[in-house]
């Protein structure tokens, strides 16, 4: 298959079209503005809907309306805009609506910076909205994964009737890479007979809602959601490893830093250190068991977590998964500063030394 050179944001946008996205609602914010820009031109060309909403709040609610009436809907934003969407996301989860949300993370907190960061891991996996809900979170490390995950996200969302977050960063959004538009696995999806499409002869009306004012009903509904999330945990865990079979130093990283880790692995190995990478791809559901089992191997002496975050956020899940089996250290920067290969090598050596 032929490779094409694409800018990340535009590829993400094109991926949505190829996945049969019916409508996109978005708002400009750096570093993802090219997503709505691309779609403002291309969606109408495909007979699909594009609206630039008045805010990220309005955009996520437009997604809610479209998804509630049975359509494939998507929005994209960056960190401060995704903060605004948290209410909409909990409503989507509570109303059991499928939707795809793309976040090109930038530095924070607050207005932060426009440079890439990974400070929204908590927001994505713990949920910035209220209530006991989860969103499936997929973290691409390159543009190929970004376009594959965006396409799969629509199917995952429809299968489970749940919002799916594709957690990218400004690097992926802004850079250009060669990619293939290959076939992405498609799922058998149930009919959307629950959608508020207009009755059209149906013998009952459909209601899209997250209000269960009776506490027992609310409890029951939450149990239903919990069962769904359990099913997702059993079926949707994804991760990747590199050279972990004999590793003494295990580096955990996700997204673009994980790519830089690959170079650090080469340098560490050249310096006589057996280093390996464990890269979570589904951040929720997090690959707890694979990481736990790997950490338990006797050849692993120390773990180093690397993130574009000041103290780390995924590190909490790493700690939970490792369950104290091995010592864990951290390397990270916030503010759009990306950890370098040299820093990773230094930190890796230090982690091993401290473990002795």
Would you tell me which residues interact with other proteins (CB under 8 A)?
Answer: 22-23, 25, 49, 51, 53-55, 57-59, 61-69, 71, 73, 87-88, 91, 95, 196-201, 205-211
d(CA 197, CA 218): 25
CA distances from 337 to 116, 177, 312 (A): 8, 21, 14
| Identity of the residue, 175 or 196, whose beta carbon is nearer to other proteins in the bound complex | 196
| CB 338 to other proteins: min, Å | 36
d(CA 66, CA 60): 10
| Identity of the residue, 31 or 127, whose beta carbon is nearer to other proteins in the bound complex | 127
| Identity of the residue, 17 or 345, whose beta carbon is nearer to other proteins in the bound complex | 17
d(CA 122, CA 128): 8
Q: Do 101 and 74 touch, CB atoms closer than 8 A?
A: yes
| CB 31 to other proteins: min, Å | 24
d(CA 3, CA 5): 7
CA distances from 318 to 42, 128, 249, 281, 328 (A): 41, 20, 14, 13, 8
Q: Cβ of 42: how many Cβ atoms within 10 Å?
A: 17
| CB 58 to other proteins: min, Å | 4
| CB 163 to other proteins: min, Å | 14
| Identity of the residue, 59 or 136, whose beta carbon is nearer to other proteins in the bound complex | 59
Strand partners, 354: none
| Identity of the residue, 204 or 353, whose beta carbon is nearer to other proteins in the bound complex | 204
| CB 213 to other proteins: min, Å | 8
| Identity of the residue, 55 or 235, whose beta carbon is nearer to other proteins in the bound complex | 55
Q: Which two tokens stand for residue 202?
A: 């149906």
| CB 306 to other proteins: min, Å | 37
């Amino acid at each position: 298959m032929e490779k094409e050179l694409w800018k990340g944001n535009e590829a993400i946008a094109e991926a949505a079209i190829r996945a049969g996205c019916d409508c996109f609602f978005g708002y400009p914010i750096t570093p993802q503005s090219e997503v709505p820009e691309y779609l403002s031109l291309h969606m109408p060309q495909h007979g699909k809907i594009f609206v630039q909403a008045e805010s990220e709040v309005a955009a996520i609610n437009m997604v809610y309306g479209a998804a509630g009436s049975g359509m494939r809907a998507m929005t994209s934003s960056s960190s401060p805009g995704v903060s605004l969407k948290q209410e909409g996301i909990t409503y989507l989860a509570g109303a059991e609506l499928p939707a795809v949300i793309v976040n090109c993370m930038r530095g924070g907190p607050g207005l932060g910076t426009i440079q890439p960061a990974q400070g929204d891991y908590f927001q994505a996996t713990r949920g910035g909205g209220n209530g006991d809900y989860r969103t499936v979170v997929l973290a691409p490390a390159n543009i190929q994964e970004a376009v594959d995950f965006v396409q799969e996200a629509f199917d995952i969302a429809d299968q489970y009737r749940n919002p799916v977050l594709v957690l990218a960063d400004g690097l992926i959004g802004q850079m250009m890479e060669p990619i293939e538009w290959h076939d992405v696995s498609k799922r058998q999806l149930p009919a959307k007979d629950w959608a508020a499409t207009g009755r059209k002869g149906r013998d009952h009306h459909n209601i899209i809602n997250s209000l269960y004012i009776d506490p027992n009903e609310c409890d029951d509904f939450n149990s239903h959601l919990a069962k769904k999330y359990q099913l997702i945990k059993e079926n949707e865990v994804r991760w990747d490893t590199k050279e972990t079979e004999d590793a003494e130093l295990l580096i955990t990283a996700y997204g673009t830093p994980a790519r830089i880790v690959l170079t650090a692995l080469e340098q560490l190995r050249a310096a006589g250190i057996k280093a390996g990478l464990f890269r979570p791809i589904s951040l929720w559901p997090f690959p707890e068991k694979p990481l736990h089992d790997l950490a338990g191997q006797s050849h692993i002496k120390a773990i180093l977590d690397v993130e574009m975050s000041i103290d780390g956020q995924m590190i909490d899940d790493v700690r939970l998964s490792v369950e104290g089996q091995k010592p864990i250290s951290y390397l990270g920067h916030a503010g759009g500063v990306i950890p370098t290969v040299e820093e990773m090598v230094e930190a890796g050596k230090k982690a091993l030394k401290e473990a002795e």
